Amino acid sequence: MRRARPGALPRGTAERALTSVEAGADFDAAQDTATEGKGTAAETGTRDGGAGERPLSKLWHVTLSVSGVESPLKEVRRGLEQLAHDHPFLLTSRYANDHAEIRYWEEARDLHDAAAVALRLWGEHRQTAKLPPWEIVGLEVIDRETYHQRIAEGYGPPPAAPVGVHPY
């Protein structure tokens, strides 16, 4: 019996497929438990306010940095635009001919899940979006509260105001 992720092609094939999972009722559950007087789901860390069900999903701000040999700027921009088109969750991308930075929000159960998805993003879309053959050289994953706290205190990554793909 072959074990694989849902949507994955057999080993040795040229392309891989990602499978999306809907958010489900996780975000609505926080509202429901708050109105029932059980405390927010964020406080209890579970979907039902603490009765042992699966943990809630959270939003994580991800900054992925990639770098490698120089590539034509037009090709880098086209690849990042294709990635943004394929995955509209991308907030902003900045690029030069030898490096790029991608920022987006990821929904995941915990930091480990958000980081794992981020570390697969570039490699799994390298062929479909025709991205440069660069390697991941940096990754930052922070929760929503920390992101907003950093912005309020005046340090950390600036807000992604110019949404889209932009040169450095």
Write down how long the chain is. Answer: 168
Q: Which helix (H) or strand (E) holds 90?
A: strand 90-95
Flag whether pLDDT at 56 surpasses 60.
Answer: yes
Q: Which amino acid is at 51?
A: A
Q: Where in the chain is CATH 3.30.70.100?
A: 58-158
CATH-assigned architecture of domain 58-158: 2-Layer Sandwich (3.30)
pLDDT tens, position by position, 59-75? 999 999 999 999 999 99
pLDDT tens, position by position, 100-135? 999 999 999 999 999 999 999 999 999 899 999 999
Flag whether pLDDT at 2 surpasses 70.
Answer: no
Rounded to an integer, what distance in angstroms lies between the CA atom of residue 74 and that of residue 67? Answer: 16
Phi, psi for 47 (deg, rounded to 5): -70, -35
Helices (H), the chain: 26-35, 41-44, 73-86, 111-125, 144-153
DSSP-based helix, strand, coil % in the chain, nearest 5: 30, 25, 45
Supply the mean pLDDT for the chain. 75
**pLDDT of res. 156:** 67
- Backbone conformation region of residue 103, classed left if phi is above 0, alpha if psi is from -120 to 50, else beta: beta
* 92, 94, 96, 136 from 160: Cα distances, Å: 6, 10, 18, 21
Flag whether pLDDT at 12 surpasses 80.
Answer: no
Rounded to an integer, what distance in angstroms lies between the CA atom of residue 110 and that of residue 116? Answer: 10
- Name the pLDDT band for 158 (thresholds 50, 70, 90): low
**pLDDT of res. 66:** 97
**pLDDT of res. 86:** 86
Residue of 160 and 107 predicted with greater confidence: 107
**pLDDT of res. 157:** 62
**pLDDT of res. 18:** 39
Rounded to an integer, what distance in angstroms lies between the CA atom of residue 63 and that of residue 16? Answer: 23
pTM of the model: 0.66
